Homo-oligomer: A and B are copies of this chain.
Amino acid sequence: MRILITGAAGMVGRKLIARLARDGALRGRKITALDLHDIVAPQAPALAGVDVSIHTGDLSAPGAMAALVASRPDVIFHLAGIVSGEAEANFDLGYRVNLDGTRALFDAVRLAAFAPRLVFTSSIAVFGAPFPDVIPDEFHPTPLTSYGTQKQMSEALLADYTRRGFFDGIGIRLPTICVRPGKPNKAASSFFSGIIREPLAGQEAILPVPRSVLHTHASPRSAVNFLIHAAEIDGDKVGPRRNLTMPGVAVTVGEQIEALERIAGAEVAKRIREQPDETVWAIVKGWPTRFEASRARELGFAAEQSFDEIIQAHIEDELDGKIA
Protein backbone atom coordinates (compact mmCIF):
# COMPACT_ATOMS: atom_id res chain seq x y z
CA MET A 1 0.00 0.00 0.00
CA ARG A 2 1.56 3.22 -1.25
CA ILE A 3 -0.08 6.49 -0.16
CA LEU A 4 0.35 10.03 -1.46
CA ILE A 5 -0.69 12.98 0.70
CA THR A 6 -0.74 16.56 -0.62
CA GLY A 7 -0.91 19.30 1.99
CA ALA A 8 0.97 16.91 4.26
CA ALA A 9 2.45 19.72 6.38
CA GLY A 10 -0.94 21.12 7.38
CA MET A 11 -2.79 20.35 10.61
CA VAL A 12 -5.04 17.68 9.12
CA GLY A 13 -2.20 16.24 7.05
CA ARG A 14 0.04 15.82 10.12
CA LYS A 15 -2.73 14.14 12.07
CA LEU A 16 -3.52 11.84 9.15
CA ILE A 17 0.14 10.81 8.90
CA ALA A 18 0.26 10.09 12.65
CA ARG A 19 -2.89 7.96 12.34
CA LEU A 20 -1.56 6.03 9.33
CA ALA A 21 1.72 5.45 11.22
CA ARG A 22 -0.27 4.11 14.17
CA ASP A 23 -2.54 1.89 12.04
CA GLY A 24 0.27 0.62 9.79
CA ALA A 25 -2.33 -0.43 7.21
CA LEU A 26 -5.05 0.99 4.96
CA ARG A 27 -7.78 -0.87 3.06
CA GLY A 28 -6.56 -4.04 4.77
CA ARG A 29 -3.06 -3.76 3.34
CA LYS A 30 0.22 -2.95 5.06
CA ILE A 31 1.51 0.54 4.31
CA THR A 32 4.89 0.24 2.59
CA ALA A 33 5.40 3.74 1.17
CA LEU A 34 4.32 7.29 1.94
CA ASP A 35 4.76 10.18 -0.52
CA LEU A 36 4.35 13.45 1.35
CA HIS A 37 3.91 16.73 -0.54
CA ASP A 38 3.49 20.32 0.52
CA ILE A 39 4.73 23.79 -0.41
CA VAL A 40 7.10 23.53 2.57
CA ALA A 41 8.76 20.24 3.53
CA PRO A 42 6.42 18.11 5.64
CA GLN A 43 7.91 16.39 8.68
CA ALA A 44 8.70 12.75 7.86
CA PRO A 45 7.53 10.23 10.42
CA ALA A 46 10.07 7.58 11.45
CA LEU A 47 8.38 4.40 10.33
CA ALA A 48 10.07 1.01 10.27
CA GLY A 49 9.68 -0.70 6.93
CA VAL A 50 7.96 2.29 5.30
CA ASP A 51 9.63 4.12 2.45
CA VAL A 52 8.89 7.81 3.14
CA SER A 53 9.50 10.37 0.36
CA ILE A 54 9.29 14.11 0.88
CA HIS A 55 8.26 16.37 -2.02
CA THR A 56 7.97 20.16 -2.03
CA GLY A 57 6.77 22.67 -4.57
CA ASP A 58 3.83 24.34 -6.23
CA LEU A 59 1.03 21.95 -7.22
CA SER A 60 0.30 23.88 -10.38
CA ALA A 61 3.90 24.07 -11.66
CA PRO A 62 4.23 22.38 -15.07
CA GLY A 63 5.16 18.71 -14.73
CA ALA A 64 5.11 18.76 -10.92
CA MET A 65 2.07 16.52 -10.59
CA ALA A 66 3.23 14.05 -13.25
CA ALA A 67 6.45 13.57 -11.27
CA LEU A 68 4.51 13.26 -8.02
CA VAL A 69 2.21 10.47 -9.23
CA ALA A 70 4.92 8.59 -11.14
CA SER A 71 5.16 6.24 -8.15
CA ARG A 72 1.53 5.21 -8.85
CA PRO A 73 0.16 5.40 -5.30
CA ASP A 74 -2.80 3.18 -4.42
CA VAL A 75 -4.49 5.94 -2.44
CA ILE A 76 -4.14 9.71 -2.82
CA PHE A 77 -5.27 12.15 -0.11
CA HIS A 78 -5.51 15.56 -1.76
CA LEU A 79 -5.58 17.98 1.18
CA ALA A 80 -3.49 20.82 -0.26
CA GLY A 81 -5.02 24.22 -0.77
CA ILE A 82 -4.99 27.92 -0.07
CA VAL A 83 -7.31 28.74 2.84
CA SER A 84 -10.52 30.68 2.48
CA GLY A 85 -9.34 34.10 3.61
CA GLU A 86 -6.23 33.99 1.47
CA ALA A 87 -8.17 32.78 -1.60
CA GLU A 88 -10.49 35.75 -1.18
CA ALA A 89 -7.64 38.23 -0.74
CA ASN A 90 -5.49 36.83 -3.55
CA PHE A 91 -7.70 35.97 -6.53
CA ASP A 92 -4.96 34.61 -8.79
CA LEU A 93 -3.26 32.52 -6.12
CA GLY A 94 -6.55 30.93 -5.03
CA TYR A 95 -7.55 29.86 -8.53
CA ARG A 96 -4.04 28.75 -9.39
CA VAL A 97 -3.58 26.50 -6.35
CA ASN A 98 -7.11 25.41 -5.46
CA LEU A 99 -8.46 24.95 -8.98
CA ASP A 100 -5.49 24.62 -11.35
CA GLY A 101 -3.41 22.66 -8.83
CA THR A 102 -6.25 20.22 -8.22
CA ARG A 103 -6.90 19.85 -11.93
CA ALA A 104 -3.18 19.32 -12.56
CA LEU A 105 -3.16 16.50 -10.02
CA PHE A 106 -6.33 14.97 -11.46
CA ASP A 107 -4.97 15.20 -15.00
CA ALA A 108 -1.62 13.70 -14.00
CA VAL A 109 -3.50 10.72 -12.54
CA ARG A 110 -5.70 10.52 -15.66
CA LEU A 111 -2.71 10.50 -18.01
CA ALA A 112 -0.76 7.97 -15.91
CA ALA A 113 -3.85 5.72 -16.11
CA PHE A 114 -3.55 3.84 -12.83
CA ALA A 115 -6.98 4.70 -11.35
CA PRO A 116 -6.24 5.04 -7.61
CA ARG A 117 -8.70 5.87 -4.86
CA LEU A 118 -8.50 9.65 -4.52
CA VAL A 119 -9.86 11.42 -1.43
CA PHE A 120 -10.38 15.17 -1.74
CA THR A 121 -11.12 17.55 1.13
CA SER A 122 -13.86 19.89 0.05
CA SER A 123 -15.68 22.21 2.41
CA ILE A 124 -19.11 23.35 3.48
CA ALA A 125 -17.96 26.67 1.99
CA VAL A 126 -19.51 25.36 -1.25
CA PHE A 127 -22.81 26.50 0.29
CA GLY A 128 -23.93 30.12 0.41
CA ALA A 129 -26.84 31.83 2.15
CA PRO A 130 -29.82 31.84 2.21
CA PHE A 131 -30.28 28.31 3.59
CA PRO A 132 -33.16 26.23 4.89
CA ASP A 133 -33.00 25.44 8.65
CA VAL A 134 -31.37 22.10 7.92
CA ILE A 135 -29.47 21.81 4.64
CA PRO A 136 -30.41 18.58 2.83
CA ASP A 137 -27.92 16.55 0.81
CA GLU A 138 -29.63 17.62 -2.41
CA PHE A 139 -29.29 21.37 -1.71
CA HIS A 140 -27.48 23.29 -4.44
CA PRO A 141 -24.03 24.72 -3.81
CA THR A 142 -24.00 28.49 -4.41
CA PRO A 143 -20.75 29.61 -2.78
CA LEU A 144 -20.24 33.22 -1.75
CA THR A 145 -16.44 33.07 -1.75
CA SER A 146 -13.81 32.29 -4.37
CA TYR A 147 -12.58 29.49 -2.08
CA GLY A 148 -16.03 27.87 -2.08
CA THR A 149 -16.20 28.29 -5.87
CA GLN A 150 -12.82 26.59 -6.31
CA LYS A 151 -13.93 23.71 -4.09
CA GLN A 152 -17.22 23.41 -5.99
CA MET A 153 -15.43 23.30 -9.35
CA SER A 154 -12.96 20.70 -8.04
CA GLU A 155 -15.88 18.59 -6.79
CA ALA A 156 -17.43 18.70 -10.26
CA LEU A 157 -14.16 17.56 -11.85
CA LEU A 158 -13.79 14.80 -9.26
CA ALA A 159 -17.23 13.41 -10.07
CA ASP A 160 -16.65 13.51 -13.83
CA TYR A 161 -13.15 12.00 -13.63
CA THR A 162 -14.55 9.24 -11.43
CA ARG A 163 -17.45 8.59 -13.83
CA ARG A 164 -14.92 8.24 -16.64
CA GLY A 165 -12.81 5.81 -14.61
CA PHE A 166 -9.69 8.01 -14.40
CA PHE A 167 -9.70 7.49 -10.64
CA ASP A 168 -12.07 6.44 -7.91
CA GLY A 169 -12.77 9.73 -6.16
CA ILE A 170 -14.52 10.68 -2.94
CA GLY A 171 -14.96 14.34 -2.03
CA ILE A 172 -15.67 15.07 1.60
CA ARG A 173 -17.15 18.41 2.61
CA LEU A 174 -15.66 19.13 6.01
CA PRO A 175 -17.57 21.18 8.58
CA THR A 176 -15.60 23.58 10.78
CA ILE A 177 -12.80 21.66 12.47
CA CYS A 178 -12.95 22.34 16.18
CA VAL A 179 -10.97 22.40 18.44
CA ARG A 180 -8.11 23.35 16.14
CA PRO A 181 -4.80 23.07 18.00
CA GLY A 182 -2.25 25.87 17.85
CA LYS A 183 -2.62 29.62 17.94
CA PRO A 184 -5.58 31.83 16.97
CA ASN A 185 -5.44 32.87 13.31
CA LYS A 186 -7.09 35.54 11.20
CA ALA A 187 -9.87 33.29 9.94
CA ALA A 188 -13.31 34.58 10.88
CA SER A 189 -14.02 31.10 12.27
CA SER A 190 -10.98 31.16 14.56
CA PHE A 191 -13.03 32.00 17.67
CA PHE A 192 -15.04 28.74 17.49
CA SER A 193 -11.87 26.91 18.53
CA GLY A 194 -10.39 29.79 20.50
CA ILE A 195 -13.19 29.95 23.06
CA ILE A 196 -12.45 26.33 24.01
CA ARG A 197 -8.70 26.08 23.42
CA GLU A 198 -7.56 29.26 25.18
CA PRO A 199 -9.56 28.82 28.43
CA LEU A 200 -8.40 25.18 28.68
CA ALA A 201 -4.83 26.47 28.43
CA GLY A 202 -5.38 29.06 31.15
CA GLN A 203 -5.73 31.98 28.76
CA GLU A 204 -8.42 34.50 27.98
CA ALA A 205 -10.43 34.13 24.74
CA ILE A 206 -12.51 36.69 22.86
CA LEU A 207 -16.05 35.84 21.69
CA PRO A 208 -16.93 38.23 18.85
CA VAL A 209 -20.49 36.97 18.09
CA PRO A 210 -23.70 36.42 20.07
CA ARG A 211 -24.13 33.13 21.97
CA SER A 212 -27.12 32.30 19.76
CA VAL A 213 -24.93 31.64 16.68
CA LEU A 214 -25.48 28.05 15.48
CA HIS A 215 -22.69 26.18 13.70
CA THR A 216 -21.61 22.61 12.83
CA HIS A 217 -18.31 21.22 14.16
CA ALA A 218 -16.23 18.07 13.97
CA SER A 219 -13.00 17.38 15.82
CA PRO A 220 -9.63 16.98 14.08
CA ARG A 221 -9.89 13.32 15.14
CA SER A 222 -13.18 13.03 13.23
CA ALA A 223 -11.67 14.74 10.20
CA VAL A 224 -9.01 12.02 10.13
CA ASN A 225 -11.68 9.35 10.62
CA PHE A 226 -13.56 10.78 7.63
CA LEU A 227 -10.40 10.63 5.51
CA ILE A 228 -9.64 7.03 6.44
CA HIS A 229 -13.24 5.96 5.89
CA ALA A 230 -13.31 7.76 2.52
CA ALA A 231 -10.16 5.86 1.54
CA GLU A 232 -11.67 2.51 2.51
CA ILE A 233 -15.32 2.82 1.49
CA ASP A 234 -16.74 0.73 -1.36
CA GLY A 235 -17.05 3.11 -4.31
CA ASP A 236 -19.95 1.15 -5.81
CA LYS A 237 -22.02 1.89 -2.71
CA VAL A 238 -21.39 5.62 -3.17
CA GLY A 239 -22.61 5.69 -6.76
CA PRO A 240 -22.05 8.64 -9.12
CA ARG A 241 -22.68 11.39 -6.55
CA ARG A 242 -19.17 11.49 -5.18
CA ASN A 243 -19.19 14.60 -3.03
CA LEU A 244 -20.53 14.06 0.45
CA THR A 245 -21.40 16.51 3.20
CA MET A 246 -19.82 15.16 6.37
CA PRO A 247 -21.74 14.88 9.64
CA GLY A 248 -20.91 17.01 12.65
CA VAL A 249 -22.24 18.41 15.88
CA ALA A 250 -24.57 21.40 15.42
CA VAL A 251 -24.52 23.61 18.49
CA THR A 252 -24.89 27.25 19.43
CA VAL A 253 -21.93 29.13 20.83
CA GLY A 254 -23.85 29.16 24.12
CA GLU A 255 -24.00 25.34 24.04
CA GLN A 256 -20.27 25.21 23.31
CA ILE A 257 -19.64 27.29 26.43
CA GLU A 258 -22.03 25.18 28.55
CA ALA A 259 -20.12 22.05 27.48
CA LEU A 260 -16.84 23.70 28.43
CA GLU A 261 -18.28 24.54 31.83
CA ARG A 262 -19.50 20.95 32.36
CA ILE A 263 -16.09 19.55 31.53
CA ALA A 264 -13.66 22.13 32.91
CA GLY A 265 -15.71 24.11 35.41
CA ALA A 266 -17.15 27.60 35.67
CA GLU A 267 -13.78 29.24 36.38
CA VAL A 268 -12.38 28.04 33.05
CA ALA A 269 -15.50 29.12 31.14
CA LYS A 270 -15.20 32.59 32.70
CA ARG A 271 -11.99 33.10 30.72
CA ILE A 272 -14.22 33.85 27.68
CA ARG A 273 -14.75 37.55 27.21
CA GLU A 274 -17.63 38.78 25.05
CA GLN A 275 -16.46 41.52 22.74
CA PRO A 276 -18.87 41.87 19.81
CA ASP A 277 -17.23 42.37 16.40
CA GLU A 278 -19.71 43.40 13.73
CA THR A 279 -17.31 42.47 10.92
CA VAL A 280 -16.87 38.91 12.14
CA TRP A 281 -20.57 38.54 12.82
CA ALA A 282 -21.45 39.76 9.31
CA ILE A 283 -19.26 37.01 7.81
CA VAL A 284 -20.54 34.31 10.17
CA LYS A 285 -24.17 35.18 9.35
CA GLY A 286 -23.62 34.04 5.75
CA TRP A 287 -22.38 30.60 6.80
CA PRO A 288 -24.43 27.43 6.76
CA THR A 289 -25.59 26.29 10.20
CA ARG A 290 -26.88 22.72 10.20
CA PHE A 291 -26.76 19.80 7.74
CA GLU A 292 -28.72 16.60 7.26
CA ALA A 293 -25.62 14.69 6.05
CA SER A 294 -27.89 11.66 5.66
CA ARG A 295 -25.94 10.07 2.83
CA ALA A 296 -22.62 10.32 4.67
CA ARG A 297 -24.13 8.84 7.84
CA GLU A 298 -25.73 6.00 5.86
CA LEU A 299 -22.36 5.34 4.23
CA GLY A 300 -20.76 4.99 7.67
CA PHE A 301 -19.12 8.39 8.21
CA ALA A 302 -19.41 9.17 11.90
CA ALA A 303 -18.63 12.28 13.96
CA GLU A 304 -18.98 13.09 17.65
CA GLN A 305 -22.45 12.93 19.17
CA SER A 306 -22.05 15.98 21.40
CA PHE A 307 -19.82 19.01 21.82
CA ASP A 308 -18.66 17.51 25.13
CA GLU A 309 -17.04 14.71 23.14
CA ILE A 310 -15.32 17.26 20.91
CA ILE A 311 -13.80 18.99 23.94
CA GLN A 312 -12.76 15.64 25.45
CA ALA A 313 -11.01 14.71 22.18
CA HIS A 314 -9.05 17.97 22.35
CA ILE A 315 -8.05 17.40 25.98
CA GLU A 316 -6.91 13.84 25.20
CA ASP A 317 -5.17 14.54 21.90
CA GLU A 318 -3.58 17.94 22.58
CA LEU A 319 -3.34 18.43 26.34
CA ASP A 320 -2.32 14.97 27.53
CA GLY A 321 -5.58 14.85 29.45
CA LYS A 322 -4.74 17.94 31.55
CA ILE A 323 -6.66 21.20 31.97
CA ALA A 324 -4.75 24.31 33.01
A141 neighbours in B (Cβ, 8 Å): 140, 156
Q: How many copies does the complex hold?
A: 2
| Residue picked from A91, A137, A152, A241, most chain B C-beta under 10 Å | A152
Q: Does A240 contact B (CB under 8 A)?
A: yes
Contact B144 A240 (CB under 8 A): yes
Minimal beta-carbon separation of A64 from chain B (angstroms): 19
A144 neighbours in B (Cβ, 8 Å): 163, 240
Q: Does A320 contact B (CB under 8 A)?
A: no
Q: Which residues of chain A from 155 to 196 have a CB within 8 Å of any chain B CB?
A: 156-157, 159-160, 163-164
| Residue picked from A143, A153, A157, A240, most chain B C-beta under 10 Å | A153
Minimal beta-carbon separation of A182 from chain B (angstroms): 30
A143 neighbours in B (Cβ, 8 Å): 156, 159-160
Identify A241's interface contact among B142, B153, B157, B163, CB under 8 A. Answer: B142
Q: A242's closest neighbor in chain B, by CB?
A: B142
| Residue picked from A142, A156, A157, A241, most chain B C-beta under 10 Å | A156
- Chain A contact residues, CB within 8 Å of chain B: 91, 128, 137-144, 146, 149, 152-153, 156-157, 159-160, 163-164, 240-241
